[in-house]
């Protein structure tokens, strides 16, 4: 049956209680919770497609998804009903009609992620769920210099975990527009903007930056990692709890 009505939704979520975005058997995921909620409201099976999958424990301020249904939706009623049915960790911020050729993943032109680090000795109980505790001494000037080495078009094989998905698995080249170190309460955040990201790419970049910033690895290892195209050479991924998908560009 044709589903002529397509919609784009913008979603926020706290990723802590979930095993990531993508539907998986036997475990709670963001995609599964939203799909089941929409099916209750709409009275028909719904498959939502996100701009990309976020890992277990990763959060989103502006995840984007699309879905198609057989009947037109009352948008105001949809917002009230869907958020009333969803668990409090997940909220739909916006719904708008989408063009027939819109695709949440393939139409995306770029994304912005923020990674939040708490560097004070005492971790705030209020910020603990959404920041990574990192009280080790960091050379911020060295960190800034290391961040610049990720800007540009590179093969990010050394900073991507397997398995990948679709075109992302076949083409590991991405263009990073900026990597900024921004001071904030309790520490700083690392802002990364690119035309696309590979699986765990942000967390792997952050892991390398922190190793360089603490003197655990020389800054030259970043260029070496690009040359080797070997995930085993790169640093361990940073924990998921400090990571937010902030915005998807179309």
Copy the structure tokens of residue 240.
């998921």
Mean pLDDT of the chain: 94
Alpha-carbon distance 149 to 227, whole Å? 13
Q: pLDDT tens across 11-25, in order?
A: 999 999 999 999 999
**CATH code matching the domain that covers 110-249, chosen among 3.40.50.2020, 3.30.70.660, 3.90.1720.10, 3.20.20.70:** 3.30.70.660
Q: Which helix (H) or strand (E) holds 180?
A: strand 173-184
For the 5-97 domain, the top CATH level (class) is alpha beta
Alpha-carbon distance 155 to 70, whole Å? 42
What confidence category does residue 47 fall into, taking pLDDT thresholds of 50, 70 and 90?
very high
Start-to-end Cα distance in the chain = 29
Q: pLDDT tens across 81-132, in order?
A: 999 999 999 999 999 999 999 999 999 999 999 999 999 999 999 999 999 9
**Portions of the chain given CATH number 3.30.70.580:** 5-97
Average pLDDT over residues 24-34: 95
CB 63 within 8 A of CB 12: yes
Q: pLDDT tens across 186-245, in order?
A: 999 999 999 999 999 999 999 999 999 999 999 999 999 999 999 999 999 999 999 999
Predicted TM-score (pTM) of the model is 0.94
**Portions of the chain given CATH number 3.30.70.660:** 110-249
Active site residues: 55
């Amino acid at each position: 049956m044709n589903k002529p009505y397509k919609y784009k939704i913008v979603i926020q979520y706290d990723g802590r209680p979930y095993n990531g975005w993508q539907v998986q058997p036997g475990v709670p995921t963001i995609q599964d919770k939203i799909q089941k909620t929409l099916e209750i409201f709409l009275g028909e099976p719904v498959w939502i497609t996100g701009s990309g999958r976020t890992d277990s424990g990763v959060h989103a301020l502006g995840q984007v998804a699309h879905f198609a249904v057989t009947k037109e939706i009352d948008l105001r009623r949809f917002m009230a009903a869907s958020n009333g049915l969803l668990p409090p960790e997940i909220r739909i911020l916006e719904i708008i009609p989408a063009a027939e050729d819109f695709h949440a993943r393939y139409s995306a032109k770029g994304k912005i992620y923020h990674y939040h680090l708490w560097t004070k000795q005492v971790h705030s109980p209020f910020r603990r769920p959404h920041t990574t505790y990192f009280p080790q001494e960091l050379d911020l000037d060295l960190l800034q210099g290391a961040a610049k080495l990720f800007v540009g078009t590179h093969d990010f094989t050394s900073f991507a975990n397997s398995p990948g998905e679709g075109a992302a698995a076949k083409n590991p080249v991405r263009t990073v527009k900026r990597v900024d170190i921004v001071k904030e309460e309790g520490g700083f955040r690392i802002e990364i903007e690119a035309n696309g990201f590979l699986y765990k790419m942000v967390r792997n970049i952050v892991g390398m930056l922190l190793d360089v910033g603490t003197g655990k690895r020389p800054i030259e290892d970043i260029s070496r990692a690009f040359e080797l195209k070997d995930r085993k050479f790169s640093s361990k991924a940073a924990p998921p709890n400090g990571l937010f998908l902030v915005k998807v560009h179309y």
